[in-house]
Amino acid sequence: MLLALLLAVAFAAVRMRDLFSVVMLFSIYSLLTAALFMDLDAVDVAFTEAAVGAGVSTILMLASLRLVGRSEQARRRNPLLALSVVAVTGAALIYGLSDAPLLGDPNAPAQQHVAPYYIQNAMADTGVPNLVTAVLASYRGFDTFGETLVVFTAGLAVMLLLGSGRARDNQQYGSEDDRNIQRLVVRALIPWILVFALYVQFHGDFGAGGGFQAGVIFASAFVLFDLVHGHRVTAQVIPAHWLPRLGALGALIYGGVGLCSLFVGQPFLDYAALAQDPIAGQHLGILLVELGVGLTVFSVITAIYYAFSTREQLR
């Protein structure tokens, strides 16, 4: 069912020429994917995909459509080459999958080798019931460190390309009292969003969520605030040129935590070295690094949003 919908959306997206609707379809596609992930027991991933695919990416795409225009030229080029490349690749994939283990097979090698270890020992090793968080932040914490730096890199790249965005007023939508209503609503909403973000941030050990999702939510709160109040006001809350620095700080926090264990002669990112009791150490470590992740993600996304939305349209 979901798959069928996905197919439909995907093909619509391929055919559509109006970029605006393509973007919308893309965001729908992400939402459907998220739903599919829920169906496949990947709650954290679903959460993230919804927040990022349907949220962040869409906002960014719309922001850039505002600058580059929404219509796509029709081009007459013989798509045969492209089609054949795609056909070959697809064939290769089908071929590769033709004797792959079945979906959901509990005895598939993928479920056998490393995974069971996590499921059985994660609690004892890290004291974190959310296996995803355990693996993400501890077992494969180095990947997540890399991930944080990817985010930082992206922020840096956008800053280099578009500049950090000066605080000028972006055009506002609707009439004055419309905007007042908007402000009212947003004012009512933002505290809850922030609370929810904090919950996601610190409850990641036990339920779905963690630094990354929390960062996205934080950012979305600011985006909302910015939309209704304009950059001037937002800039008073957090000046644009702070954001990259905050992002850097987050990355440094993560790295710093990792380095701590070096000083007591343990390998990088060995949280157990952070406290007498290894479990407590793990808890502390995970908490801190998730904080770093959250900080980086929040500030980078906000910064990128600033950079895009303050860019003047080319006339």
Residues between 185 and 244 with contacts to another protein, criterion CB under 8 A? 206-208, 212, 244
CB of 252 closer than 8 Å to CB of 145: no
Q: Please identify, using beta-carbon distances, which residue of 184 and 262 lies nearer to another protein.
A: 262
Q: Which stretch binds another protein (CB under 8 A): 139-147, 166-174, 180-188, 222-230?
A: 139-147
Interface region with another protein, contact rule CB under 8 A, candidates 170-178, 183-191, 226-234, 246-254: 246-254
Q: How far apart are the first and last CA of the chain?
A: 45
The C-alpha atoms of residue 276 and residue 274 are separated, in whole angstroms, by 7
Nearer Cβ to another protein, position 138 or 170?
138
301 closest CA partner among 225, 218, 231: 218
**Residue 221 Cβ, how far from another protein at the closest point, in Å?**
18
- Bridge partners, 71 (sequence order): 18
Per CB under 8 A, contacts with another protein among 5-24 are 6-7, 10-11, 13-14, 19, 22-23
* Tokens matching residue 251: 């990355």
Q: Does 179 bind another protein (CB under 8 A)?
A: no
Nearest Cα to Cα of residue 51 among 69, 77, 71, 33: 33
Tokens, residue 218: 């934080």
Say how far apart CA 308 and CA 164 lie, in whole Å.
Answer: 9
- Residues 28-47: x/- map of binding to another protein (CB under 8 A)? -xx--x--xx--xxxxxx--
Closest approach, Cβ 251 to another protein, in A, equals 4
When asked if residue 108 is in the footprint of another protein (CB under 8 A), the reply is yes
Identity of the amino acid at 47: F
Single out the segment in contact with another protein by CB under 8 A; choices: 71-79, 165-173, 174-182, 183-191: 71-79
Residue type, 33: T
DSSP designation for 113: S
Nearer of residues 71 and 236 to another protein, judged by Cβ: 71
Reduced to 3 states (helix: H, G, I; strand: E, B; else coil), residue 71 is strand
Please choose, out of 171-179, 190-198, 217-225, 267-275, the segment that lies near another protein by the rule CB under 8 A. Answer: 267-275
